[in-house]
Amino acid sequence: MPSKQALVRRPGPRVSEGLVTHIDRRPVDAALALRQWERYVRRLHDHGWSTTEVAPADDCPDAVFIEDTMVVFRNVALIARPGADSRRPEIRAARAAAEALGCSVNEVRAPGTLDGGDILKTGDTVHVGRGGRTNAEGVRQLRAAFEPLGARVVAVPISRVLHLKSAVTALPDGTVIGYPPLVDDPAVFPAFRTVPEESGAHVVLLGGDSLLMAASAPRTAELLAGLGYRPVLVDIGEFEKLEGCVTCLSVRLRELAG
């Protein structure tokens, strides 16, 4: 992991108005959400990550979910074009932050749509969820941007969750983990392991054997600890009410030049 840089964006005053699509709306405590976000950022710092706070987008309730603004492969940031119109004003400041960190920048153009949460990278394989927020033209532009860099792009159907990484993420050895009721086709992935909780399907690789996970998945944490990993738990309950998870609260830039 040549670099441990992450982009984050604090929740704004309208976070409780964030979009929900596959779950019922529940009240969100904005003050508690801010405290949970601060603890999330501290967990990154505790494990050697440097964070850049992207300028606020206070009129965009979902702006805290910064991962959706881009996809980074090697040192190239493909700036997203969100599938939800209300999220498109989030993009400008995120792009500026990526440029300031030295990323080479490309962008998805109309009529393509693509959300960063629909992208799961395992080595040089880039799985892209084809569903409600990312369309076929977005997938085509992703291929055009990353295949010349050595990526193998694989489209994955999703229908049960908001984003691909709402259903699956991957362990350091490349094994994809997921909660079966939310995964359309586990056979798409060469190696797949089931987990016992919905939020257990979401991990952020912190480096070494450490995995950032939601505190709402204690049984999955125990399972992964038994496999030799070190779960690092953080409470993100207010963001889970908005279909958020540990992956979507940051953009990890692992391959920037030193």
Would you say 247 and 117 are in contact if contact means Cβ atoms under 8 Å apart?
yes
Told to judge if 248 belongs to the known catalytic residues of this protein, a careful annotator would answer: yes
Q: Which of 60, 103, 127, 163 is catalytic?
A: 163
Whether 60 contacts 217, CB under 8 Å: no
Calculate the alpha carbon distances from 61 to 12, 109, 185, 255 in Å: 7, 23, 31, 30
Residue 224 near residue 245, CB atoms below 8 Å: no
Q: Which residues contact 190 (CB under 8 A, 6 or more apart)?
A: 174
Q: Select from 141, 66, 134, 65 the least CA-distant residue to 96.
A: 66
Please, is 226 exposed, middle or buried when counting C-beta atoms within 10 Å of its C-beta (0-12, 13-18, 19+)?
exposed
Spatial separation of the C-alpha atoms in residues 66 and 168, rounded to whole Å: 18
Rounded Cα–Cα distance for residues 108 and 74 (Å): 17
Is residue 22 flagged as an active site residue?
no
CB 184 within 8 A of CB 123: no
* Residues belonging to the active site: 163, 248
